[in-house]
Each structure stands twice: as structure tokens, then as C-alpha cells.
């Protein structure tokens, strides 16, 4: 057995709430950010990058509350290389037990051209802003954005300046996912060998997945001397996403024989937080996603199944329970009671108060009347909107659709909008189109439909359909989700869920809107 007592620690820096949330359509509500931060803190993530406080009042409020509520993790905010950004960041994180300021500037030729700074002018700004951050906070991280496309001599120079100015962590971002594992490792080694003071600080790696190498690049950087990995749950992030937290954590755990490093993340909580992030972001996890995908521990090939029956290790390099996956059992049905439902939901990672359980139980019974066998995935889908506080301004009372190959597709719908009962009948290219037109007529809005996506929760013709709807209006992006055994009903409910969220954003006057334009630090 590998002796892990003397192994180096690798810090896990989660940026799901900052870099991950920048994915178009992945915007989370204030309550959702607080919830995800709590789960990250509980599972042992070392640093949580809670947001970009200068971006909006909503971001500032979320980072501030996360800082106050955090118990174990370092709480970090992002700031551009500007005094105003850094001051705002400090105001947001200063109440954390362990605060950090993360400031950045783009150092590659392409990024230097944006503020139109010479190399010397940028070097001066790095010195001034990192010094300013360090005067406010003892824990300062600095990032040369697009580091992997920055001239090596200039990268040495800027990293040295940041270290001398007081940075305690230097993050090396592969902002556009351009590098390869060998290059990632070489860059960290060269920085450690050639920059004065490099051995006194922590180097971090922040990789994007544009070429599908983010996890490999991060692990290569660690082998070369980096001791912090920046990552997101489910690999969420702009374009092709970021390094996936669950992948690096499990890679270091499973292959500890060749990568002798330790993290403090409780891997048994990975599946639960993956599901929660997928739900609140509206970004479903692909079935064949490593570690947390639905098929990650599924075996269909006859040879694989035979081997699994004889010895699970023949085709599984880790156990499902290592990532918090319990075996799916068909044990719930219309005769199951509240206690059984509560126990099952707790096993799936949901802890409900009595009032919440009462509401979910009613929905569970309604589902059980339509669907004989209730799987774990059915319950997870049920929970997606059952506890959403933003889902009751508009309610679907009834709907009826007529569809087929002959004649028009017609939807008749009655909604309750702020207590008033409204009805209409519309035709469309199909039942979903007709239903959406009904909603559009009854609830006036100018939102544009960005995404309509349907997933079958389980197998069989009585499977629930989980529908995701993403709407955009005046820069505000919201996602609604719903699950129902009737795909058309689920579609209408998801659209209504999104509209409810949009109404909340309108009332907040843009609180959850990004109010400035910026480039990220990764």
C-alpha cells in the first residue's frame, strides 16, 4: 500500500462560481451560489473563487455572503489590475475567516494590445496593483492571463515582479486551452528554475479544455512542481470548459502510485455536487463524462458484464461508492411513505425540512400515480424544481394539445399569473411550439429562446422527460427546468420556470446581470 503520510498536498481551487458561471446561460441565482459554495466548503475544497465582485451588485453580494458563511475554505474574489477592482474585491472577501484577493492582467502580445500598454508600463502596473492588494490582504494571488502564449523572458520578468510585490500564489493560466501536457510541465519547471523567489511561493495551474487536454495539462503541471489546481465542477466553463475538479481529484487518488500527491477533497461527495451544479446551471452532464457521467460505471458489453460479475476490478478502476454513487434500486412506489422518501433523498444528498418534504411528497405521489417504478434519477429530477423559491409567480393550471401528421397542432392552456386566471388557444409547427406560443401570449415578454433541450431521465416509455429552457432578455440569461412523464407538459413547465426567474431578475433591476465587460483570468 502506498504511504501517503509524507506526500505533498495539492490545493484544489474551485472556480465554478466565477469562471464556470461565465459559460453563456450558466448564470446562477444568489441562493444557488450560496448553496454550491456551502457544498464546496463541506467537501474539502481548499480555495473557493466565489465571484468577480466589481462585475455587479449581485456578484458583490454573493461573494460577501459566501465569505461570511464559509467555515473552512479560503474565499477568493477576482479583480482586474485596477485599484478600484482590488478595493471592491477586498470589501467583499474581508469578512471571510481566510480571505484571498486574486488579481490578473493579460501578458501575451495579444492581450497587451487591449489596454495598449508597453512591456514596461505593464510591468509597472503589475508592481503597483499587487503591492496594493498585499497591503490589504496577506493572501494574494496573481495571474498573467494567456501565460502560455506570453514570451518566456517577459513571463519570467512579470512573475518575479509579482512575487517581489507580495504575491503568495502565482497562477499560470492556459487561457485558450492551447498548450499540451509536455509544454505545461516544462513551463512550470522553467519558472521554478529561472525566477528568483519562485521556490517560496505556490504555483497554480489553470487550464481550459479547448483541445481536450485540460486535465492532462493540470496533472503534468503538478508533476513539474505546481501545487494548486484551478478547476470547476463538471468542467463547467467558457467555450469547451475548464479542468474538471472530479477528474483531477480521482486521477490523483486512483493513480497515487505514479502521482504521489494528496488532496483533502472528500471524493464521496462528488456525485452529489455534480448533480447540483448541473441542475442550477442548466448544463446537463454528458452520459460518458468521466467520473460523474451516467455511464461512467455502466457496463453493457457481454464480456464486460461477465467480468464484472466475477470480479468488479476487471473493468472498474474505482468503486462507484468512491464518488458517492449508490446503486440504483427500484424500491420506491406509490405505497412508499414520507419516512422512506426522506431516507432515500438523504442517501441522494438532499436534506429537507418538514415543509419541503411535505411539498416534495405530494409531487412524488403524483409521479407514482403515473409511473409505477420510481428510480433514483426520477427523484433527482423531481428535486430540480420542487424546492425552487422562484417558481410560483406563474403557474400552469391546465393544458391540452392536439397533434399529428394531419391538420394543425393546437394547444389550449390556462395559466395563473399573479393570482389571475388566463387562457388562450394557439397553433404551431408542433405541440411544443403551440404551447410556447400560448405562454408568450399570456405572459408578455421579449425574451429570446436560446436553448431547448430534452433528456429522458430513465428508460422506458413512461420515463420522465427533463426539459431545459434558456431565455435571454436585455443581457439577462435565465434557465428553467422541469420533469414530467409528458414531454409537452414538461416543456411548458420548464418555459414557465424560466419566465419566473426572469421576472425576479427584472424586479432586481439587473442585480444578477454582468454590468461590466471583462476578460477572465483563465
Do the annotations mark residue 127 as ligand-binding? Answer: no
Residues 6+ apart with CB under 8 A from 336: 364, 368, 374
Determine whether 153 is exposed, middle or buried from the number of CB atoms within 10 Å of its CB (0-12, 13-18, 19+): exposed
Q: What is the pLDDT of residues 151-171, one digit of tens each?
A: 999 999 999 999 999 999 999
Query: How long, in residues, is the chain?
Result: 522
Position 289 confidence tier, pLDDT thresholds 50, 70, 90: very high
Prediction pTM value: 0.80
Q: What is the pLDDT of residues 230-276, one digit of tens each?
A: 999 999 998 999 999 999 999 999 999 999 999 999 999 999 999 88
Beta strand residue intervals within 52-208, DSSP E: 74-80, 99-106, 140-145, 169-174, 202-207
Q: What is the pLDDT of residues 367-406, one digit of tens each?
A: 777 776 777 777 877 776 555 555 578 999 999 999 888 7
Mean pLDDT of 457-483: 82
Note the pLDDT of residue 252.
97
Contact yes or no for 229/238 (Cβ under 8 A): no
Between CA 165 and CA 135 the distance in angstroms is 10
Q: What is the pLDDT of residues 189-205, one digit of tens each?
A: 999 999 999 999 999 99
Q: Are strands 228-231 and 11-14 parallel, antiparallel or unpaired?
A: parallel
Do the annotations mark residue 206 as ligand-binding? Answer: yes
Do the annotations mark residue 19 as ligand-binding? Answer: yes
Mean pLDDT, the chain, as a whole number? 87
Q: Is residue 515 over pLDDT 60? A: no
Name which of 230, 233, 243 is nearest 275 in CA terms.
233
Residues 6+ apart with CB under 8 A from 158: 107, 122, 123, 126, 144, 150
Note the pLDDT of residue 308.
35
Q: Which of 39-43, 56-60, 223-227, 453-457 has the lowest mean pLDDT?
A: 453-457
Q: What is the pLDDT of residues 129-152, one digit of tens each?
A: 999 999 999 999 999 999 999 999
Do the annotations mark residue 429 as ligand-binding? Answer: no
Topology of domain 394-507, CATH: Double Stranded RNA Binding Domain (3.30.160)
Give the CATH number of domain 9-281; options: 3.40.50.720, 3.20.20.70, 1.10.286.10, 3.40.50.2000: 3.20.20.70
Q: Where are the alpha helices (DSSP H) in 140-269?
A: 152-165, 181-194, 214-224, 245-254
Position 300 confidence tier, pLDDT thresholds 50, 70, 90: very low
Question: To 10 degrees, the CA torsion angle through 10, 13, 16, 22?
Answer: -120
Residue spans of the domains in the chain: they are 9-281, 302-386, 394-507
Amino acid at each position: 500500500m502506498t504511504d501517503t503520510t509524507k506526500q505533498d498536498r495539492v490545493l484544489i481551487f474551485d472556480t465554478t462560481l466565477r469562471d464556470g458561471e461565465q459559460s453563456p446561460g450558466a448564470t446562477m441565482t444568489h441562493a444557488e451560489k450560496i448553496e454550491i459554495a456551502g457544498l464546496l466548503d463541506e467537501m474539502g475544497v481548499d480555495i473557493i473563487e466565489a465571484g468577480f465582485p466589481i462585475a455587479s451588485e449581485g456578484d458583490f453580494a454573493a461573494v460577501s455572503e459566501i465569505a461570511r458563511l464559509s467555515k473552512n475554505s479560503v474565499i477568493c474574489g477576482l479583480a482586474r489590475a485596477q485599484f478600484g477592482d482590488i478595493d471592491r474585491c477586498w470589501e467583499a472577501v474581508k469578512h471571510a475567516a481566510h480571505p484571498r484577493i486574486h488579481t490578473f492582467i493579460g501578458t501575451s502580445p495579444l492581450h497587451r494590445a487591449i489596454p495598449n500598454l508597453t512591456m514596461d508600463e505593464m510591468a509597472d502596473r503589475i508592481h503597483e496593483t499587487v503591492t496594493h492588494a498585499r497591503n490589504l490582504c496577506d493572501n494574494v494571488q496573481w495571474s498573467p492571463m494567456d501565460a502560455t502564449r506570453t514570451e518566456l523572458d517577459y513571463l519570467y520578468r512579470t512573475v518575479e515582479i509579482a512575487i517581489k510585490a507580495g504575491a503568495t500564489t502565482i497562477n499560470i493560466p492556459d487561457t485558450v486551452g492551447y498548450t499540451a501536457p509536455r509544454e505545461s510541465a516544462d513551463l512550470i519547471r522553467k519558472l521554478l528554475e529561472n525566477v528568483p523567489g519562485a521556490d517560496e511561493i505556490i504555483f497554480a495551474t489553470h487550464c481550459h479544455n479547448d483541445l481536450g487536454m485540460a486535465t492532462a495539462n493540470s496533472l503534468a503541471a503538478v508533476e513539474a512542481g505546481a501545487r494548486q489546481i484551478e478547476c470547476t465542477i463538471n468542467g463547467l466553463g467558457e467555450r469547451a470548459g475548464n479542468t474538471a475538479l472530479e477528474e483531477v481529484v480521482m486521477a490523483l487518488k486512483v493513480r497515487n502510485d505514479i502521482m504521489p500527491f494528496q488532496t483533502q477533497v472528500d471524493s464521496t461527495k462528488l456525485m452529489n455536487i455534480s448533480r447540483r451544479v448541473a441542475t442550477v446551471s442548466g448544463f446537463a452532464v454528458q452520459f460518458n463524462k468521466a467520473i460523474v457521467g451516467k455511464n461512467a460505471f455502466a457496463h453493457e458489453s457481454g464480456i464486460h458484464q461477465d467480468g464484472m460479475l466475477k470480479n468488479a476490478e476487471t473493468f472498474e478502476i474505482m468503486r462507484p461508492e468512491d464518488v458517492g454513487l449508490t446503486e440504483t434500486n427500484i424500491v420506491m412506489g406509490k405505497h412508499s411513505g414520507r419516512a422512506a422518501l426522506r431516507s432515500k433523498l438523504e442517501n441522494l444528498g438532499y436534506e429537507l425540512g418538514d415543509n419541503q418534504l411535505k411539498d416534495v411528497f405530494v409531487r412524488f405521489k403524483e409521479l407514482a400515480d403515473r409511473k409505477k417504478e420510481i428510480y433514483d434519477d426520477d427523484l433527482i429530477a423531481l428535486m430540480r424544481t420542487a424546492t425552487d423559491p422562484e417558481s410560483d409567480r406563474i403557474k400552469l393550471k391546465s393544458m391540452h394539445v392536439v397533434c399529428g401528421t394531419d391538420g394543425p397542432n393546437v394547444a389550449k392552456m390556462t395559466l395563473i399569473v399573479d393570482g389571475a386566471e388566463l387562457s388562450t388557444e394557439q397553433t404551431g409547427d408542433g405541440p411544443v411550439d403551440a404551447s410556447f406560443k400560448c405562454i408568450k401570449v399570456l405572459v408578455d415578454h421579449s425574451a429570446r429562446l436560446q436553448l431547448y433541450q430534452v433528456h429522458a431521465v430513465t428508460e422506458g416509455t413512461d420515463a420522465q422527460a427533463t426539459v431545459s429552457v434558456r431565455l435571454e432578455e436585455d443581457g439577462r440569461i435565465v434557465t428553467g427546468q422541469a420533469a414530467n412523464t409528458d414531454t409537452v407538459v414538461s416543456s411548458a413547465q420548464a418555459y414557465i420556470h424560466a419566465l419566473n426567474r426572469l421576472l425576479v431578475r427584472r424586479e432586481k433591476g439587473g442585480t444578477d446581470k454582468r454590468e461590466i465587460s471583462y476578460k477572465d483570468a483563465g
